[in-house]
Every structure is written in structure tokens, then in C-alpha cells.
Amino acid sequence: MQDGARRTTPLDELKGEIMKFGMRKPSIKRSISARTTGRMKREVKKTLIPGYGKKGIGWVKNPRKAAYNKIYHKTTFSLWDLFK
């Protein structure tokens, strides 16, 4: 990052910007990353962190982010959804 540059997160969009809707931009890199993140890594986290991977935990940990994600996933779709 450059000096003075600020990294943005999806939550920054909740601070007044309009939420995205429509098709999400496909990313090959993220798609591969999502498929290759180790199953063992998730299993270890499940054994060490109570509540990891359980449905609804996001609402407990960070309700604002959970609300954003719920709306985002209902208002956008993937390129692969067109082939279903």
C-alpha cells in the first residue's frame, strides 16, 4: 500500500454508499482460493473455536456485517448462477 492509502472493507459501504446489485465480478484467483483452502484447516478451527462454522454465529459476533452480507447475497448473483 502507498503511504496514506487506506484499505477499504465491505463494511465501509454501509457508511453511506449504495449497495451493489446485479452480477458480481468474477475472480479466478478467489474462486481457486475458495476451493483450495484446506479442509483440515477448517476442521482444526472447528475443534479449537467453539461456534466456528455454525449457522447464525455471524449475527452474534458482528450483526452489522451479517446484515450487510445477507442483503448483498440476496441482491447479487454470480456468473455461474446463470448456468444453473
pLDDT in tens, 11-22: 555 555 567 778
Averaged pLDDT for residues 18-44? 82
Nearest to 78 by CA among 24, 30, 32, 33: 24
Give the pLDDT score at 63.
Answer: 93
Domain count, the chain: 1
Cell numbers given for 43:
476442521
Is 1 inside any structural domain? no
| pLDDT, tens digit, 9 for 90 and up, residues 50-59 | 888 888 888 9
Q: What global pTM score does this model have?
A: 0.57
What's phi and psi for 15, nearest 5 deg?
Answer: -85, 20
Give the pLDDT score at 24.
Answer: 83
Is 29 inside any structural domain? yes
Is 67 inside any structural domain? yes
Asked if residue 41 has pLDDT above 80, the reply is: yes
Is 38 inside any structural domain? yes
The domain of 32 spans 22-83
In 3-state terms the chain splits into helix, strand, coil percentages (rounded to 5) of 55, 5, 40
